Structure 1
Amino acid sequence: MYDFALLMEWLEFAVRWLHVITAIAWIGSSFYFIALDLGLHRDRDLDTGADGEEWQVHGGGFYHIQKYLVAPKNMPDGLVWFKWESYSTWLSGFALLALVYYLGGEMFLIDPAVLDIAVWQGVAISVASLAFGWVVYNQLCKTFVNANQTVLMVALFAVLVGMALFYTNVFSGRAALLHLGAFTATIMSANVFFIIIPNQKIVVADLIAGKAPDPMFGKIAKQRSTHNNYLTLPVIFLMLSNHYPLAFASEYNWLIASLIFLMGVTIRHYFNTVHARKGNPTWTWAVTVILFIIVAWLSSAPLYDWEEEEAKAWTPMAERYAAAETFDEVHDVVIGRCSMCHAAEPVWNGLLWPPKGVMLETPQQIALQAEAIYVQSGVTHAMPPANLSGISDEERALIRAWFRSVDG
């Protein structure tokens, strides 16, 4: 019988792959249309009544693109809607969140040293926070729709900083930054689902009915699309952060996440300005570098107290792995082959912290990481990297037998 752990590993891999594919499609089309809109030549009196046009060349062909401020006089055939890229990205991302952080809540979601709550409570907080984010953001946009948009962006940044503080005081560091990314991505996808696409459908319906569409619908959709443009890069950083303990396992992880949002603004400001042919603001790169240096400094000042991470409570499953007949032998293998890197103070040359924040120095830590040890070192040869510590086939077989004796 194929191991349940391996089935879950492949399911997670498949969903993660799907998430990356759909995210590429969504981000790619979003960035393209933002650049296209900013680069349109609007100083030409077009016979079609379009707001602007641009000529582009790609793949050996020339493209003549025109944008209508509201809509063309007649409904075109074969109208393409860009929406499923967004929906698929969010749905696959939520599925991945459930697979990794909800089903693996004892290991990845909850840290008793931060807040000692049950997994189901953490899951409930997670889901409620995502909905809360959209409600608050949407209300802010409605309030400031006709105001200075810079004021709205500052208000949004304050909300994001507040959520960063909230998540880092509820979840593990890894889950906190990931959730801040999911929080932001939910806002972005909800913008498409609840605002941008419905507004465009209203315009299309008015056009079919022979009525002049209200330009306000286009204005609101443009506002939300602009927000998505500036939020994209921070979301990508936060989604990748779970691979880098220096980002999530720091005393100042909430501040690191907050500064990343500012870096997203400076980077996108540069490209948006260039695409709009309004100059070459290279100062934004200097600001970005300075912010990144501050982030790097915050990640190790002071260095994270890994001993505090060890305060995680035993789980019923971990106790079963620790009570298995061959656990003492597996413990010796892990200590001899893995703990030189996976330690609070790694002795392997060049390592200043345990890879991915995983420590394997005590029976408790080893039992808590049973499934990861089984997949990474028992079934596959992913760990140790390049087998630098010389783990033998017999030792890998011992790990497999130990895990299967408990997991069945």
Structure 2
Amino acid sequence: MIDYLWIWSEMLIRWVHVIAGIAWIGSSFYFIALDLSLKPGKQLPDEAHGQAWQVHGGGFYNMVKYLVAPKRMPDELTWFKWEAYGTWISGMALMALVYYGVASLYMIDLEILDITEWQAVAISLAGIILGWAVYDGLCRSPLGRDDTMLAVAGFAFLVLLAYGYTQIFSARGAFMQMGVMIGTMMVANVLMVIIPGQSKVVAALKAGDTPDPAYGIRGKQRSLHNNYLTLPVIFVMLGGHYPMVFATAYSWIILALVLVIGCVIRHYYNTKHKGLPAPNWTWFVAAVLTVLAMFLSYAGAPQASYDEASYGRGAELHAHAVELVIERCSICHAEVPQWDGMAFAPKGILLENETQVIALVDEIFWQSAQSHAMPPGNVIWVEDEERAMLAAWRAAMRAGEIEDS
């Protein structure tokens, strides 16, 4: 019963995370598109910046934007913040439940850095906080007055962090750390900059004072940053389930490419929302960079050749492969896992006998032969030559050589 409660807890938190993320991303994309589509109008109040007419759900909407605020505050004012907060809270809950809870498996790779579980968690949390502090400092520095230079500096900072984390955490841990850190920057933009600024504007209006337009300018800048970072963050969250993305020697370069891909795609749509000619070149750039990311994923896979003299062919190769998987993997993938702190087999996958191993030959290939995803952090040591043997075994299985032997 405890197993069911644990699995359901993870699933429900993940569900809430996705729901909150959809709500946040939806409102973010909508308001950026709305802001870019605003047009001047003769009938607008003097303090209004622009308007947009839209049709949806059988009705017409006239949206008017005020750079600071109208002279008179409306009776009801909707704040868009809880979607962001809900996304971060549920995301950190998942991080704690899945990664911090079993940090020895999912965050630590002793080949990279010999640290304890508590050290890994502390480094992760400190990195999240310091990442926001540096980013916020860049935005508030003189560099923040030039959006292009700020974007270049921010990109360089994120790529440097991505590489740095690969020197500290396991492949999976480093990749997910970047996703959580970027997501935290985005939520902190809402919590620490956008909402406080809007609150000060509202307070000034209620007091009869003239609000400082700097709050609106700063809030718009951070909102635009969130808009451009959304697609890369989504990729990281999905990429954490695909070993060929994160468990490669070039995962940090792949992340750098994804940052650019996400930004050029958003640039395409943002430009269209402005009513300007569509920059179709962005799709060519995105396609080229995607192909490059695929190549790096392949090039960064374990590099070793299959030693036929050691493992043989046919039945002998099959026996070596099955023995290796059961010996190294069943410590976790068992009805009763032997790994400390693990109550049930990850994802319910069992690898305790030949039948179970054969049924998962493709999964074993991607997780352990074409990447370093499994064992996590290589805690149960698997040599690259052994990974090459598993690749040869899978190829022989697909070619029908094992059944014929």
Question: Shorter-chain TM-score: what band?
Answer: 0.7 to 0.9
Aligned match for 2:338, one of 318, 343, 366: 318
Once the two structures are overlaid, the 10-residue window that deviates more, 67-76 or 337-346, is 337-346
Corresponding position: 1:238 with 2:236: yes
Q: Does 1:70 align with 2:84?
A: no
Residue in structure 2 matching 1:290, options 288, 291, 296: 288
Runs of 4+ in 1 over 6 A off after TM superposition: none
Matches within 5 A, 1:14-163: 14-42=12-40, 44=42, 46-47=44-45, 49-144=47-142, 147-163=145-161
* CA distance in structure 2 between the aligned counterparts of 1:66 and 1:363, rounded to whole angstroms: 58
CA spacing shift, 1:330–1:227, aligned 2, 3 Å: closer
Partner of 2:220: 222
Sort the Cα spacing of 1:107 and 1:233 in 2 relative to 1 into closer, same or farther, 3 A. same
Mapped contact 1:40–1:53 kept (Cα < 8 A): yes
- In structure 2, what is the equivalent of residue 378 of structure 1? none
Corresponding residue to 1:331 among 352, 355, 372: 352
2:361 to 340, 348, 351: 340
Q: Relative to 1, partners in 2 of residues 1:258 and 1:363: Cα closer, same or farther, differing over 3 Å?
A: closer
CA contact (8 A) 1:42 1:53 kept: yes
Distance 1:81 1:330, change over 3 A: closer
* Cα 1:359/1:121, change in 2 over 3 Å: closer
Q: Distance in 2 between matches of 1:12 and 1:283?
A: 41
In 2: Cα distance, 1:337 partner to 1:16 partner: 30
Give, in angstroms, the shift of residue 82 of structure 1: 0.3
Separation in 2, partners of 1:182, 1:168: 15
Cα distance in 1 between the residues matched to 2:339 and 2:264: 49
Unaligned runs of 5+ in 2: 306-326, 342-349, 383-405
- How far has the Cα of 1:8 moved from its partner? 1.3
Question: Once the two structures are superposed, what CA deviation does each residue of 1:351-396 show, in whole Å capped at 9, x if it has no partner?
Answer: 9747x94469x99589xxxxxxxxxxxxxxxxxxxxxxxxxxxxxx
Letter in 1 for 2:159: V
CA distance in 1, matches of 2:265, 2:284: 10
Shift of 1:178: 1.1
Q: Secondary structure in 2 aligned to 1:243?
A: coil
Kept in 2, the 8 Å contact 1:306–1:344? The answer is: no
Alignment equivalent of 2:4, drawn from 3, 6, 11: 6
- What is the DSSP-based 3-state SS (H/G/I as helix, E as strand, rest coil) of the residue aligned with 2:47? coil
Q: Select the residue among 200, 203, 224 that pairs with 1:202.
A: 200
Distance in 1 of aligned mates of 2:145 and 2:32:
22
CA contact (8 A) 2:244 2:366 kept: no
Tell me the alpha carbon deviations over residues 2-33 of structure 1, each in whole angstroms, 9 at most, x when there is no partner. Answer: 1x233211111010000000000000000000
Question: Aligned with 1:55: secondary structure?
Answer: strand
Query: How many residue pairs get matched?
Result: 349
**Which residue of the partner structure matches residue 323 of structure 2?**
none
Higher relative contact order (CA 8 A, sep 6+): 2
Q: Does residue 259 of the first structure (1) align with residue 257 of the second (2)?
A: yes
> Paired residue for 1:174?
172
Relative distance call for 1:102 and 1:146 in structure 2 (3 A) is closer
Contact 1:181-1:238 at 8 Å conserved across structures:
yes
Compute the RMSD of aligned alpha carbons. 3.1
User: Percent of counterpart pairs with the same letter?
Assistant: 46
Matched-pair contact (CA < 8 Å) for 1:75–1:208 = yes
1:62 and 1:172, CA in 2 relative to 1: closer, same or farther beyond 3 A? same
Counting only pairs closer than 5 Å after superposition, residues 245-394 of structure 1 correspond to structure 2 as 245-305=243-303, 318=338, 331-333=352-354, 336-338=357-359, 340-343=361-364, 353=370, 357-358=373-374
Contact preservation (8 Å) 1:249, 1:304: no
Question: Residues 294-317 of structure 1: CA distance to partner in whole angstroms, max 9, x if unpaired?
Answer: 00000011423599xx999x89x7
Amino acid at match of 1:61: G
Distance 1:198 1:302, change over 3 A: closer
Pair 285,330 (structure 1): closer, same or farther in 2 beyond 3 Å: closer
Task: State the shift of 1:337 in Å.
Answer: 3.5
Q: Aligned with 2:64: secondary structure? A: strand
Q: Which runs of 5+ in 1 are unaligned?
A: 322-328, 367-408
Tell me if structure 1 keeps the 8 A contact 2:250–2:300.
no
Q: Provide the residue aligned with 1:389 in structure 2.
A: none
Q: CA deviation at 1:146?
A: 5.7
Provide the C-alpha distance between the structure 1 equivalents of 2:47 and 2:77, rounded to a whole number of angstroms.
18
Work out whether residues 115 and 170 of structure 1, in 8 Å CA contact, stay in contact via their aligned partners in 2.
yes
CA 1:320–1:73 in 2, change beyond 3 Å: closer, same or farther? closer
CA drift at 1:43: 5.4
Question: Following TM superposition, by how much is the alpha carbon of 1:173 offset from its aligned partner in structure 2, in angstroms?
Answer: 1.1
**Whole-Å separation in 1 of the counterparts to 2:176 and 2:233:** 9
Q: For residues 302 and 356 of structure 2, what CA distance do their matches in structure 1 show?
A: 22
1:124-183 Cα deviation digits (max 9, x unpaired): 011000000110011001003662110011110011001101111111111211110111
CA distance in 2, matches of 1:363, 1:103: 16
For residues 126 and 105 of structure 2, the distance between their equivalents in structure 1, rounded to whole angstroms, comes to 21
